[in-house]
Structures are given as C-alpha cells and as structure tokens.
Amino acid sequence: MTRNHIGVDLSRDWLDIFDPQGGHFRVANRAGAVRDWLAALGRRDLPVFEATSGCDGVLLRQAAALGHPVHRVNPLHAWHFAQSLNLAKTDRVDARMLARLGAERRLGASPAFVAERAELAELNTRRDQIRRMETQEKNRLAKTVSGAIRADIASLLRLLARRRVRIEAEIAAFLKTHPASADTVRLLETIPGIGRVASVTLVSAMPELGTCDRRAIASLGGLAPKARESGKWRGRRAIGAGRRHVRRALYMAALSALRHGGFAASLVSRMRAAGKPGKVIAIALARKLLTVANAVIRDRKPFAATE
C-alpha cells in the first residue's frame, strides 16, 4: 500500500499540518479536534511528526484509540533532513518537510502507543529527574563553605530522597497492578547487571524490544558504534544518537555486570587483553546487555548463561 505521508508540526496549542493532497491547515491540539481530524483520514494516510517536547500526547492517544497508524520521527533525523534541504524554520515549512521526509524514506507506522507503557515511562522519568537533582545538589554541597547554605542543601537532599523513595514505591505498585509489564520486568532482571531501573527503562522506552535484530536494537539504544573513515584516514568509532536515557541506564547496568564474574567474561577478557579502556569495555558490555535483553523478550524465556 502506497502511503500518503502527512507532515505534522506540533506545538502546545496547535498542529500545523501539511497534507500533499489537501495543502496546509491547522488543528487545535485538543482531544476532540485531533480525534475528528484523524477520524476523517483514510487508511493510507500516515501522519508524520517529531517525538519531541511532550506536545504529541494528545495525537498519540487519539490515534491509538482510533487504531490509526502514525510515525514518530527521531528529532535529530528530522533536523539533519531539514538542514540538507537548506530550509527556513517555520511551523508550515516544518510540516511540509516532515511530509517530504516520510515520502522519500517511505516511512511506515511506528509501534502502537500503549497507555500502560506511557504511564510507566512518566514514573521512570520522574525518578531519573529526582536522581539528577540529587546529584546536582551533592555537587553544590561539596563546593559550599557557608554553614547556612550547607544546611539548606542537606535539607533539600533529604526531601529529594523521600520523594525518590515515594516514586520508586509508585513504580512497584504500578507493576503489581499491571502483570504484563511486571512479567517483562522479571524476565529482564534475570540478566546479570540489569536491576529495577534498567528493566523499567527498557520496558517503558523500548517497545521494539524483541522485534528487531541485534544491530537494529543496538542502534535504537544508541549503542551502535559508527564508522568514521575518509580515504586512507580511519577515525575512532563512536556511539551516538539513539535513546540517550536507555544508553545511560544500560551503561550503569554494565558497570554492575562487570562485577559479575561469569557474564560476558570472554568478551571482557579479550577487550582487556587488547588494551581497551575501561569505558570502551563498559559500552561494549552495555550493547551486549541490550542484545541479550532483546533475545530474552523475543523468546519470553529467562536469561541462561552461555559463557
């Protein structure tokens, strides 16, 4: 089926839309208006929009309720595409650019929006935000001399710790009432190094888990090294793009897995023997964890050591 890719530029109040068959128009970013617009689309019409800024919640929920496919574009990919066309930056231009991006790359539907996963993602995101605030305050405390300021920071740290514990309790309660998510979390936590933070991050942020091959899943997770070569020059490969919060969670899981003597022991020993830096080894192990998690979810079987 040939798709009609419809570009949608999102803002808090409006959806600026470019339909190649109907031109530009604007729809209020409200449930009723978005639902009416989606309901009028044909099955070959595919809205294309950036996964950014939280303005896509109404569109995602209404599309899921109607069973209408959409495609969420990585904002970095959209930005590079727009730069390659030397375009101006306006809402109308962005909507037309997204329609062209969808058509030229023949984009298909993204994984369906699941409200359960979105709620878990919000809880997990809030936990991460509190952890970052704790780190910031601890860094400030280490540089502060004033007794009054140190007392104020210490008080705030105690408050943040209580709030983090409360959010973690909310996540535990959520899993008790959502057996499908809880079962996936339990499977992931059979993998050495993957604890509650990494497992919840994977469940909430990687709906493709178990449906892609190992190269594709590593790229989505931002853990696929990219070659940098030109003529005879060979640059150092580096990771990038992908989902940074997934990469961060798996990096911390990899540090934990390094303390597990049996997991990926041959990989680690080979890299150490080759003189690879510790951070490079941790990134390689994070990628290994993601590919193992992909296989565990694909097969719906607990992890079984092969090394």
Question: Does the residue 185 lie in any domain?
Answer: no
Residue 157, pLDDT > 70, answer yes
Q: What pLDDT sits at residue 271? A: 77
Grade residue 88 by pLDDT with cuts at 50, 70 and 90: confident
**Six token digits for residue 269:** 């020993």
Do 207 and 290 share a structural domain? yes
Q: What pLDDT sits at residue 304? A: 78
Backbone φ and ψ of 16, nearest 5°: -85, 120
Number of domains making up the chain: 3
Question: Does the residue 154 lie in any domain?
Answer: yes
Residue labelled with tokens 């909507």: 95
Name which of 144, 202, 9 is nearest 87 in CA terms: 9
In the listed set 146, 177, 208, which residue is the last one of a domain according to the structure? 177
Q: What pLDDT sits at residue 235? A: 59
pLDDT, average across residues 237-256: 79
Question: Does the residue 304 lie in any domain?
Answer: no
Do 99 and 120 share a structural domain? no
The pLDDT mean for the chain works out to 87
pLDDT, average across residues 154-164: 96
Do 100 and 122 share a structural domain? no
Do 224 and 132 share a structural domain? no
Do 129 and 87 share a structural domain? no
Do 259 and 208 share a structural domain? yes
Do 234 and 291 share a structural domain? yes
Cβ within 8 Å of residue 142, ≥6 positions away: none
Question: Does the residue 14 lie in any domain?
Answer: yes
* Cα–Cα separations (whole angstroms), residue 113 to 10, 23, 61, 214, 221: 17, 27, 7, 23, 19
Single-letter amino acid code for the residue at 72: R
- Structural domain span for residue 158: 115-177
Question: Does the residue 287 lie in any domain?
Answer: yes
188 neighbors 197 (Cβ within 8 angstroms) = no
Q: What pLDDT sits at residue 89? A: 84
In the listed set 145, 177, 209, which residue is the last one of a domain according to the structure? 177
Report how far Cα 196 is from the mean position of its chain's Cα atoms. Answer: 17
Q: Provide the CATH number for the domain around residue 17.
A: 3.30.420.10
Residue 231, pLDDT > 80, answer no
Do 97 and 55 share a structural domain? yes
95-142 pLDDT, tens digit each: 999 999 999 989 988 877 888 888 898 899 999 999 999 999 999 999
Question: Does the residue 306 lie in any domain?
Answer: no
Do 204 and 254 share a structural domain? yes
Query: How many angstroms separate the CA atoms of 256 and 282, rounded?
Result: 10
Q: Percent of the chain, pLDDT > 70?
A: 92
Question: Does the residue 182 lie in any domain?
Answer: no
Q: What pLDDT sits at residue 155? A: 96
In the listed set 73, 104, 135, which residue is the last one of a domain according to the structure? 104
Do 93 and 11 share a structural domain? yes
Do 200 and 280 share a structural domain? yes
Do 72 and 8 share a structural domain? yes
